[in-house]
């Protein structure tokens, strides 16, 4: 574009610079100061487009005006990107990785670092005992100290899975910095880390699942219905514990699983499950689930009457005898104790959810139906992603599993 063209208001901020053009706009920094921020380009049109975008961004919130240290950008990223947009558990995870790994190791480096810098940090981190680095043993009382604090390193090195998570989060952070035009390339992309070897997870057979549920039912276990939900409906632990007492629709045999219970940052949170696989949180259920939930509601009513004025109403399906929410860790303990009593192989609660998926495959339930039951965003590379599964087909798959369990 010719410089003789008439300019709109403010376009005088665009001027010739070296072998092209430059422009600036006034922005507010994260510290609350007013500063100029510059953009550059080979042609007037390129710079004009960047300048318009810059002015638009400046009206939406604070902006940095120069390439900051990684630690400063990390603080901004967690404060302005992570906390307002991610779930509490994800926020807690980012803050933990920042506190333990990113800030101590990378905080004083320039955000515009090289892949070599980052590779060296990863290699150093992989060789660092985290018990020593984080002072885990030193934080124990003198009587309970057993390794690093006594000069005997326990060699608690980060696992391949931890290194993978570090790289994944750094790639996301640096991509955000690229979007904000603070850096031009992502140094984390080419970093080499050990390959993660996925452990072969254990699962139960249909007979194990039946034996486990039969033991809980025989003892009138108040968590029997929750175990049924894990094994038959593939509910996650938080989804089962966060289930409202009015979630089941017994007439239509539908279950609303749009809530979860999580302990995050020392607080027990009852929140919606806003994820891609839970956009439609209603799931059909077979008779084994309906009977278990009706029995649970009767148990709950008896507990409420027995507690009297001491009852705490939280509107949850699964509660203590006084109506308060059940701690996720206590659910794990109850699950493990029931395994011992039932005499079945020990697996985790999440492996119980996997058991449901495996049983569905063993029963020749179509993968698309299994995907609807498990509420996965993807079930496999060969999945026909856009094939719709009717409620009738989903219900038939669940009934098939329910019949196999007894």
Read off the pLDDT of residues 168-224 as tens digits, 9 standing for 90 and up: 999 999 999 988 878 889 999 999 999 987 766 677 888 888 899 999 999 999 999
- Check whether 58 has a pLDDT greater than 90: no
Phi and psi dihedrals of 60, rounded to 5?
A: -95, -15
Read off the pLDDT of residues 297-345 as tens digits, 9 standing for 90 and up: 999 999 999 999 999 999 999 999 999 999 999 999 999 999 999 999 9
- Check whether 98 has a pLDDT greater than 50: yes
Read off the pLDDT of residues 46-57 as tens digits, 9 standing for 90 and up: 899 988 988 888
Residue 17, SS3? Answer: strand
Cα angle value 174/176/179 (rounded, 5°): 115
Asked if residue 384 lies in contact with residue 366, where contact means CB atoms within 8 angstroms, the answer is no
Would you state the torsion angle of the CA atoms of residues 18, 24, 30, 32, taken in this order, to the nearest 10 degrees?
130
Beta partners for 310?
none
63-83 burial: b if 16+ Cβ within 10 Å, else e: bbbeebebbebbbbbbeeebe
In the CATH hierarchy, which top-level class contains the domain 206-405? mainly alpha
- Greater confidence, 226 or 406? 226
Beta partners for 110?
69
Read off the pLDDT of residues 345-389 as tens digits, 9 standing for 90 and up: 999 998 888 777 666 665 566 566 666 666 665 544 323 322 334
Asked if residue 234 lies in contact with residue 312, where contact means CB atoms within 8 angstroms, the answer is no
Q: Could you give the CA distance from residue 248 to residue 288 in angstroms, rounded to a whole number?
A: 13
Q: What is the mean pLDDT of residues 290-299?
A: 95
Asked if residue 172 lies in contact with residue 81, where contact means CB atoms within 8 angstroms, the answer is no
Cα angle value 181/185/187 (rounded, 5°): 125
Its pTM stands at: 0.66
Can you give the pLDDT at residue 366? 59
Contacts of 199 (CB under 8 A, 6+ apart): none
Q: Could you give the CA distance from residue 272 to residue 27 in angstroms, rounded to a whole number?
A: 36
Q: What is the mean pLDDT of residues 73-87?
A: 93
Asked if residue 24 lies in contact with residue 38, where contact means CB atoms within 8 angstroms, the answer is yes
For 135, other C-beta atoms within 10 Å of its C-beta total: 12
Can you give the pLDDT at residue 36? 86
Tally DSSP H helices, then E strands, for the chain.
16, 8
Asked if residue 359 lies in contact with residue 404, where contact means CB atoms within 8 angstroms, the answer is yes
Contacts of 362 (CB under 8 A, 6+ apart): 206
Can you give the pLDDT at residue 389? 45
Can you give the pLDDT at residue 264? 82
Give me the residue spans of the domains in the chain: 11-58, 70-179, 206-405
Q: Which helix (H) or strand (E) holds 341?
A: helix 328-342
Beta partners for 283?
255
How many residues comprise the chain? Answer: 406
Q: What is the mean pLDDT of residues 79-85?
A: 93
Q: Could you give the CA distance from residue 293 to residue 33 in angstroms, rounded to a whole number?
A: 58
């Amino acid at each position: 574009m010719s410089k003789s063209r008439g300019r709109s208001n403010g376009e005088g901020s665009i001027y010739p610079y070296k072998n092209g053009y430059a422009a600036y706009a006034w922005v507010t920094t994260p510290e609350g100061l007013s500063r100029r921020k510059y953009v550059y380009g080979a042609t007037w049109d390129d710079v004009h487009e960047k300048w318009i975008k810059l002015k638009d961004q400046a009206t939406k919130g604070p902006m940095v005006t120069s390439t900051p240290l990684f630690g400063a950008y990390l603080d901004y990223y967690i404060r302005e990107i992570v906390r307002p947009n991610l779930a509490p558990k994800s926020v807690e995870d980012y803050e933990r990785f920042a506190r333990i790994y990113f800030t101590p190791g990378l905080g004083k480096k320039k955000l515009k670092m090289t892949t070599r810098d980052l590779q060296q940090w990863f290699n150093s981190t992989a060789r660092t005992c985290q018990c020593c680095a984080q002072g885990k043993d030193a934080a124990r009382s003198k009587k309970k100290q057993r390794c690093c604090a006594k000069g005997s390193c326990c060699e608690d090195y980060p696992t391949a899975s931890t290194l993978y998570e570090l790289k994944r989060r750094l790639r996301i952070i640096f991509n955000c910095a690229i979007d904000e035009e603070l850096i031009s390339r992502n140094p984390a992309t080419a970093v080499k880390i050990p390959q993660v070897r996925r452990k072969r997870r254990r699962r139960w057979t249909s007979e194990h699942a039946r034996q486990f549920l039969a033991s809980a039912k025989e003892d009138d276990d108040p968590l029997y219905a929750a175990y049924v939900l894990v094994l038959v409906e593939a509910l996650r632990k938080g989804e089962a514990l966060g289930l409202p007492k009015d979630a089941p629709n017994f007439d239509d045999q539908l279950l609303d699983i749009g809530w979860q219970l999580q302990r995050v940052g020392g607080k027990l949170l009852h929140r919606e499950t806003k994820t891609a696989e839970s956009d439609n949180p209603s799931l059909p259920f077979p008779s084994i689930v309906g009977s278990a939930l009706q029995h649970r509601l009767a148990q709950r009513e008896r507990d409420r009457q027995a507690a009297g004025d001491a009852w705490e109403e939280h509107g949850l399906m699964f509660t203590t005898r006084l109506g308060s929410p059940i701690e996720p860790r206590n659910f794990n303990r109850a699950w493990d104790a029931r395994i011992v009593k039932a005499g079945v192989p020990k697996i985790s609660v999440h492996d119980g959810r996997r058991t449901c998926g495996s049983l569905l495959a063993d029963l020749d339930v179509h993968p698309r139906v299994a995907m609807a039951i498990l509420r996965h965003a993807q079930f496999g590379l060969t999945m026909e992603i856009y094939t719709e599964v009717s409620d009738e087909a989903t219900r038939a798959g669940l009934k098939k599993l329910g019949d196999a369990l007894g």
